Chains A and B, each alone.
Chain A
Amino acid sequence: MQQYVTLKIDNARVKAVKGASVLDAAMASGLCIPHLCYVPVLKASGACRLCIVEVVDNGRTKITASCTLNAEDGMVIYSNTERIRKLRKNIAELLVAQAPNSRAVQDIAVRCGVKEVRYPFRNDNCIQCGRCVSYCTEYSKANSLGFVGRGKNRHVEYPLGFRRDLCKKCGFCTEYCPMSVTPCGGPMKAGEGRLCGNCDSQIAAMEHFSGICVRCELGKGFKCVRQTYV
C-alpha cells in the first residue's frame, strides 16, 4: 500500500508519497519552488541550488536544497521567506551572468527577482546544470556524456574526449539543455546590466504579483507540472 507523509510547506499542509522529495511534494500540490537542474524523472543532484528552502528542525532553521531533501512527517518548510528570496536571487544572478543568452535561464532569473546583473557577462553558455549528463547516464544508459575536470575547468565531455560512438542518438540531451532549446533572440550586451527587452513584461508581472509563476521557457519545453496550475 502506498504510504503518505504530511508536511507543512509555507504554512500549507501538504500530503506527499513517502520517499518523495520536498520539491516533488511542493510541485504536486501546486506550490512552485524555482529550480533548474532538477528533472522529474531523474535522480536529483542538488547542483543548481535554486530550489533552496528553509527547514525548521528543533527550532533551528537550516537552508538546504529541496530536491535532495526527503519529505518527512511533520516537517516544516518555508520556500519563500525574505532570506530565501534574496539568496535565490543572488544565485540566479550568478547563473544569468554566466549564460545571458538563454531564454530559459533568463526566465528563471526574472522569476527569482533579478532585475540587474552586477557582474560582467561571461557568455559561457553551459552552466553545468548536469541535466544532459544525468539523462544520458540514468535514463538512456548510454554513459556517453560526463563531467570532466574540476572547478573552473569542469565541462561536459564524451568519455576520454573522443568516444562519440557511445552516443545512442536519443537527442534528449539537447532537449533537456536550457541553452540549446531556447536560445535568446536578443542577446544581452556585456556591461549593460539589464536583462534583454524580451523579459520586460515578465519583470513587470513579477513586480505586481510577486511570487507568481513566470511561464518560463524551461517549463514549456519540458512540460513542467506548473503548466497545469498557471
Chain B
Amino acid sequence: MHKLKSLNNLDSLRKKLLAERKRARATIVICGGTGCQASKSPEVIAAIKKEITGQEMEKKVHVRATGCHGFCEQGPIMVIEPGNLFYCHVKAKDAKEIVAKTVKNGEVIERLLYTDPVSGKKVRTEAEIPFYRAQDRQLLNHNRSVDPCAIEDYIAIGGYAALAKTIAGIEPEAVISEIKASGLRGRGGAGFPTGRKWAECAEAPGDEKYVVCNADEGDPGAYMDRCLLEANPHLILEGMMIGAWAIGAFTGYIYVRNEYPLAVQHARIAVEQARKLGLLGENILGSSFSFDVEVARGGGAFVCGESTALMASLEGKVGEPRAKDIHTVKDGLWHKPTVLNNVETWANVPSIILNGAKWFAAKGTKNSKGTKIFALTGQVKNTGLVEVAMGTPLNKVIFDIGGGSKNGKAIKAVQTGGPSGGCLPVGKFALPVDFDTLNEAGAMMGSGGMVVMDEGTCMVDMAKYFLNFLQDESCGKCIPCRVGVDRMLEIITDIAEGRGSREQIALLEELADTVSATSLCALGKTAPNPVLSTLRYFPEEYAAHVDHKKCPAGVCKALISYSIQSDKCNGCGSCLRACPHDAIYGRKKKVHIIDEKKCLRCGICVGECKFAAITVS
C-alpha cells in the first residue's frame, strides 16, 4: 500500500477497500481475543482457514480473526456473515461441519447455538441474546468488524475519518471546545473532565508537549482497556492523534502493561502500519501536522497506572508517584506539559469529533455522558465485557445483562471500581452508574471492574483480599500507604481469625480515614475504600466476627468448622479418600467423623460428598 499524501488519498483508499469487500460473499468472524484464545480459538481459526483452502473457497469466503466480542465465557465465539449467525464454544473439529453446512448451504448447526439460560431456548443471532440486547455497544461494536492487525479493516469501517476531518479544518481550540461540550470524563477512574484537561495543557507554556495513553490496567477482574487495545488499536491511535492536534504535541506514548503481550503486539503492529500509510510521522496526510507514537511496556507494578508513577516509569525511573500539587498537564513527562488519558477515553474521541458533541452527550446523566464499559465478573450467569450508557441502573447490568445469580444463592453485593472501589449492597442496586452517584455511595466508577458477590462471600474476607492486594502493590514510598495499609491488613486479619475486638473496628475506621486523607497518590487515597464501604454497609458481618466469633458466610477459616451429619452420611468413604490431611475417620458403611484438630478447612470434602452430608458452621 502506498503512503497517503492527502485527504483525498484516504478517501479513495476507503472507497477501493469497500468495493473489494462487497465482492466477498461470506465472512466468518472468529474471536481471537485473549479470552477466546484461552479457550483455543487459534486452533479454530487455523482449522477453518485450512478447511476453506481445502475446498477452494478463499475467494468467496473471508475469514477474519478479530478482538474480543465481550462474551468471553462462551468462547471461542464465531459469527457468520451475512445473517449474523452466532456460534459459541466452537471447537477445531467443528470446522468441517461449519464450512460444509453453514457456509456452503446456509444450514444452522443447532448444537453450536447459544442457549439462553433463562428461557432454555436456542438463540441464533447476537442481537437476540439478552447479554447483548440490553447493552449499548458504542465502542465495542467495532470489534467485530475489525481485524486488529489490518489497518484496511479499520479504514473500511470509517476509521481515520475523524482525523481527516480534524486536519481538514478544525482548529485545535475548536477540537477542545467540542470535547468540552461533549462532557467526556476520564474513564480511568477519577472522572476528570477530558476537555478541561486538554485546555489546561494547551494553555501551559512550552513547545514540547506529550500525549500518553494509559493502558496499564491492573485491577483484578478488569480487562476493558486490554480488550479495546487488543481489538481495535487504531481507534485509540486516532484518538491520540486528535488529542495531539488539539494540544500541539509531536510525540505520544502508549504505556501498555507488560503482562498484556497481545495488546503490546497489536499496538506495535498498528503503529507500524499507520507509519507506513503516512498516518503517523511527518506531515500527516499532506498537512503541516506531525506526530508519532511509541509503544512502551509497563514496569510490572499496579502503581504504574497512577499518572505520575507512569510518567516516572516512562522516563526510565522507578515507578513511584510524586506530589501532584502542580498538575501533570503543566509538569508531566520529562517536566513537560502532558495529557494522560485512559484507553477508553481516547477511544471515545474519534466518534465525538465525527458525530459531534451533541450526539455523544445525548446518552448518559447530567454530569456523566456517553457509555462505559464494565468487566462483569463474579457470581453471575453471564460474565464478560458489558457496555452500557451512563446512568443505567446497577440492577439492569447485574440482572438483565448478567442474568442474575449463577448458583442459586442470593446476590448480596457488587464491588465496583476494582481494589480501590467499594462494595454496594443489594439495597443500592437501583443506583444509576455514573461518576458522582457511585462516589457518593462510597464506591467508585474506577476503571470499570464489577465483581458480583453472593451469600457465599464474606465481606470481611473480601476486604482482607483487597487490602492484601494493595499492600503488595503499594510502592512503599509514603508512610500512610505502606505502613497504614499494612496495619489495616493486620487488624482485619485479627478480625477474620477471631482475635478482633470492638476497639479494633474503631481503630480500623480511624486508620482508614487517615490513610485516605494523607496518602501521597490516588492508590493510597482510595486504598481504604473496600474497608470503609463494607464497614458502612455490612457492619453486622464485622459484628458477627468480633462479638460472636462467627463467619456468617462460612468463609473465614479460623471461625468455621466442618462436620458430618450422621443422618445423611452413608459411609461411602469418598470424603475420607479425598481429604489431603487425613482428618476424616470412619469404617465402610459407617458414619464418618472429621477430626477438628487435623482439619485445615480446605473444603475439599464438601465438594466430594454426593449426599450433602458435610456442613459448614
**Does chain A bind chain B?**
yes
Chain A positions within 8 Å of B, measured between CB atoms, are: 44-50, 52, 63-65, 68-70, 86-87, 90-91, 94-95, 97-98, 118-120, 127-128, 130, 147, 149-154
Q: Which 3 A-B pairs have the closest CB atoms?
A: A154-B476, A68-B323, A90-B514
CB closest residue in chain B, given A90: B514
Given contacts A65-B520, A70-B326, A90-B510, contact A47 B478 (CB under 8 A): yes
A–B Cβ pairs within 8 angstroms, 6 of them: A46-B478, A128-B476, A152-B476, A152-B486, A154-B475, A154-B476
Whether B472 pairs with A152 at a CB distance below 8 angstroms is: yes
Inter-chain contact A64/B473, CB cutoff 8 Å: no
Residue from the list B474, B478, B490, B507 in contact with A150, Cβ < 8 A: B474
Tell whether A47 pairs with B477 under 8 Å between CB atoms, given A63-B518, A70-B326, A94-B483.
yes
Q: From B318, B472, B479, give the contact of A127 (CB < 8 A).
A: B479
A95 touches B479 (CB 8 A): yes
Total A-B pairs in contact (CB under 8 Å)? 93
Q: How far is the CB of A80 from chain B (nearest CB, A)?
A: 15
- Contact at B480–A91, with CB atoms within 8 Å? yes
Contact partner of B487 (CB less than 8 A), chosen from A119, A149, A151, is: A119
A63 with B517, Cβ < 8 A, contacts A45-B477, A48-B478 known? yes
Q: What are the interface flags for B552-580 relative to A under an 8 Å C-beta threshold, 1 for contact and 0 otherwise?
A: 00000000000000000000000000000
Judging by beta carbons under 8 Å apart, are B476 and A151 in contact?
Answer: yes
> Which of B318, B479, B513 is close to A49, meaning CB atoms less than 8 Å apart?
B479
Contact at A91–B518, with CB atoms within 8 Å? yes
Cα distance A51–B287 when bound, in Å? Answer: 51
Contact A150 B520 (CB under 8 A): no
Nearest CB in chain B to that of A122: its residue = B483
Tell me whether B476 and A46 are in contact (CB under 8 A): no
CB distance from B328 to the nearest CB of A (A): 14
The residue that A47 contacts in the complex, of B318, B479, B487, B510, with Cβ under 8 A, is: B479
Contacts A127-B479, A147-B318; is A87 near B471 (CB within 8 Å)?
A: no
Interface string of B487-520 (1 = CB under 8 A from A): 1001000000000000100010011011001111
Please judge, given known A-B contacts A47-B479, A90-B514, whether A150 and B325 are in contact too, CB under 8 Å. Answer: no
A177 CB, nearest partner CB in chain B, Å: 16
Q: Which residues of A contact B483 (CB under 8 A)?
A: 94-95, 98
Q: Give which listed residue, A44, A94, A119, contacts B480 with CB less than 8 A.
A: A94
Minimum CB–CB distance for B32 against chain A, Å: 34
Given contacts A48-B478, A49-B478, A154-B476, contact A94 B484 (CB under 8 A): yes
- Chain B residues whose C-beta falls within 8 Å of the C-beta of A151 in the assembled complex: 471-476, 482
Contact of A94 with B476 at beta-carbon distance under 8 Å, contacts A49-B519, A152-B471, A154-B482 already known: no
Q: Which of B421-454 contact A (CB under 8 A)?
A: none
Q: From residue A205, how far is it (CB to closest CB) to chain B in Å?
A: 25
List chain A residues, Cβ under 8 A from B487. 94, 97, 119
> Within 8 Å of chain A (Cβ to Cβ): is B249?
no
Other than A147-B318, A152-B472, A152-B476, give 12 A-B pairs with Cβ distance below 8 A: A64-B325, A65-B323, A70-B325, A70-B326, A87-B513, A94-B480, A118-B507, A119-B490, A128-B482, A151-B471, A151-B475, A151-B476
Assembly CA distance A150 to B472 (angstroms): 7
Q: Which of B322, B476, B490, B503 has the most CB of A within 10 A?
A: B476
User: Can you name the residue of chain B whose Cβ is closest to the Cβ of A44?
Assistant: B323
Complex formed: what's the CA distance from A171 to B334 in Å?
Answer: 32
A residues less than 8 Å from B510 (CB atoms): 90
B residues in contact with A47, CB < 8 Å = 477-479, 520
Sorting the interface of chain B by its residue count into under 10, 10 to 19, 20 to 34 or 35 or more gives 20 to 34
Q: If A52-B518, A87-B517, A87-B518 touch, does A152 touch B480 (CB 8 Å cutoff)?
A: no
Inter-subunit contact B325/A48 (CB<8 Å)? no
Report the separation of the CA atoms of residues A76 and B514 in the bound assembly, to the nearest whole angstrom. Answer: 22
Closest to A130 in B: B477
Per-residue CB contact flags for chain B residues 513-534 toward chain A (1 = under 8 Å, else 0) read 1100111100000000000000
How far in angstroms is the closest Cβ of chain A from B467? 12
Residue from the set A63, A151, A152 with the largest chain B CB neighbour count within 10 Å: A151
Kindly report which residue of chain B lies nearest to residue A154, judged by CB atoms: B476
Residues of B with C-beta under 8 A to A120 = 490
Is the CB of B301 closer than 8 A to any CB of chain A?
Answer: yes
Assess the B482–A48 pair: CB atoms within 8 A. Answer: no
Chain A residues whose CB sits within 8 angstroms of the CB of B326 once the complex forms: 70
Instruction: Give CA–CA (A147, B490) in the complex, Å.
Output: 24
Chain A residues near B318 (CB, 8 Å)? 147
Alpha-carbon separation in the docked complex, A91 to B322 (Å): 19
Q: Which residues on the B side are within 8 Å of A119 (C-beta)?
A: 487, 490
* Alpha-carbon distance A150/B318, docked complex (angstroms): 10
Q: How far is the CB of B327 from chain A (nearest CB, A)?
A: 12
Which residues of chain B come closer than 8 Å to A46, judged between CB atoms? Answer: 322-323, 478, 520
A contact residues around B520 at 8 Å (CB) = 46-47, 49, 65
Residue of A nearest to B472 (CB): A151
Contact B323 A64 (CB under 8 A): yes
Report which of B472, B503, B511 forms a contact with A90, defined as CB distance below 8 A. Answer: B511
Residue contact B479 to A149, C-beta cutoff 8 Å: no
A120 to B493, CA, bound (A): 14
Cα–Cα distance between A90 and B506 once the two chains are bound (Å): 13
Complex CA–CA separation, A90 to B514 (angstroms) = 7
Query: Chain A contacts of B301 at CB under 8 A?
Result: 150
Alpha-carbon distance between A98 and B487 when the two chains are bound, in angstroms: 10
Name which residue of chain B comes closest to A148, CB basis: B318
Report chain B residues within 8 Å CB of A128: 476, 482
Which residues of chain A are within 8 angstroms of B513 by Cβ–Cβ distance?
87
Measured CB to CB, the closest approach of chain A to B527, in angstroms, equals: 11
Tell me how far the C-beta of B425 lies from the nearest C-beta in chain A, rounded to whole angstroms.
29
- Chain B residues with CB under 8 Å of A87's CB are 513-514, 517-518
- In whole Å, how far is A123's beta carbon from the nearest beta carbon of chain B? 14
Instruction: Enumerate chain A residues within 8 angstroms of B323, measured Cβ to Cβ.
Output: 44, 46, 64-65, 68-69
Of all chain A residues, which has the CB nearest B484?
A94
CB distance from A43 to the nearest CB of B (A): 10
**CB atoms of B479 and A94 under 8 A apart:** yes
Interfacial chain B residues near A95, Cβ < 8 Å: 479, 483
- CB-based contact A150/B514 at 8 Å: no
Question: In chain A, what residue has the closest Cβ to B477?
Answer: A47
Contact between A68 and B474 (Cβ–Cβ < 8 Å)?
no
Is A68 touching B325 in the complex (CB atoms < 8 A)? yes
Give the complex CA separation of A119 and B478 in angstroms: 19
Contact A149 B478 (CB under 8 A): no
A149's partner among B471, B476, B484 (CB-CB below 8 A) is B476
Chain B: minimal CB distance from A71 (Å) = 11
Q: Take A46-B322, A47-B520, A87-B514 as given contacts and tell me if A150 and B479 are in contact as well, using a CB distance cutoff of 8 Å.
A: no
**Chain B: minimal CB distance from A198 (Å):** 23
Partner of B476, one of A49, A69, A147: A147
Q: How far is the CB of B444 from chain A (nearest CB, A)?
A: 18
- The docked-state distance in angstroms from the alpha carbon of A69 to that of B510 is 26
Residues of chain A with a CB closer than 8 A to B507's CB: 118
